[in-house]
Amino acid sequence: MAHSIGILGTGVVAQTLGTRLLGLRYEVTLGTRDVATTLANTKTNQYGGPPFSEWHRRNPHATLGTFRDAASAGSLLLLCTNGGGTLDALTQAGPENFTGKTVVDITNPLDFSKGMPPFLVPQFTNTWSLGEEVQQRVPRANVVKTLNIVNCEIMVHPEKTGGEPTMFVAGNDSRAKEEAIQLLREFGWKDVLDIGDITGARGMEMVLPIWLRTWGALNNGHFGFKIVR
Ligand SMILES: NC(=O)c1ccc[n+]([C@@H]2O[C@H](COP(=O)([O-])OP(=O)(O)OC[C@H]3O[C@@H](n4cnc5c(N)ncnc54)[C@H](OP(=O)(O)O)[C@@H]3O)[C@@H](O)[C@H]2O)c1
């Protein structure tokens, strides 16, 4: 298993995964567009939580660098960027820095430009997905789509649902999927379902509209989906 993990992103997902990985004794490097801007930002995040600088103050063992630094530093990479910024982030990171690595893709192609609830970007629905686009942009990496169907607290603590939810994995390379599943197990996932190649990302991303409606109905993000069989 990789010892150094590069997280592309500094938002609530990157922070939540970062905290958990530091607790599991991984070396963690987070990547951002501009280090100085990210550290200087004092605004609360979109959920009313503290800015990245506050998280970094509480987690001084995490390294903050550019997207390129994070992609280079990690032997396993976690893609935690905004859906609309993901492809630019890959370009900034340099696709050559992904060669031979497992890339766990947690992103969702959501468009918030018309307010709440967001909608799926049509370009990445039904016959194509952001996961497949990511795989195409970093062809020498092995992309595994997973974790995008739950709230970030549930990603790293599935037991907070009060049950044993199912997590899907989809990707073209079986060794990369094994590496991703090992990480899921460390987070506490017991029910993991391999749904095949990266085209499985289509259905996983299209789960988001029902995730959002369920969140609204429960008024709480601590839930998961279960495949009963
Ligand atoms: N929130 C959840 O619980 C949850 C659950 C499942 C999946 N997801 C998915 O996880 C991803 C991260 O979500 P989040 O809520 O943590 O944060 P977010 O606000 O969606 O994304 C923040 C990250 O995206 C980067 N970014 C934004 N616009 C960019 C652009 N134009 N070019 C390059 N990078 C850009 C930011 O870079 P800077 O660091 O430079 O600001 C930051 O690192 C999203 O795709 C989301 O759909 C979220």
Coarse DSSP helix, strand, coil percentages of the chain, rounded to the nearest 5 percent = 45, 20, 40
pLDDT at position 65: 98
Any atom of ligand 1 within 6 Å of the Cβ of 109: no
Please give the pLDDT value at position 46.
82
Ligand 1, atom 7: nearest CA belongs to which residue? 148
Q: pLDDT at position 197, please?
A: 99
Q: Cα 27 to chain center, whole Å? A: 17
Query: Across-strand partners of 169?
Result: 194
Mean pLDDT split into 10-residue runs, the chain, 229 residues:
90 98 98 97 87 96 98 98 98 98 98 95 98 98 98 98 98 98 98 98 98 97 98
What pLDDT score was predicted for residue 1?
Answer: 59
Nearest-atom index, ligand 1, CA of 41? 41
Query: In sequence order, what DSSP letters do the residues of 145-179 get, joined into one string?
Result: E-STTS-HHHHH-GGGGSS--EEEEEES-HHHHHH
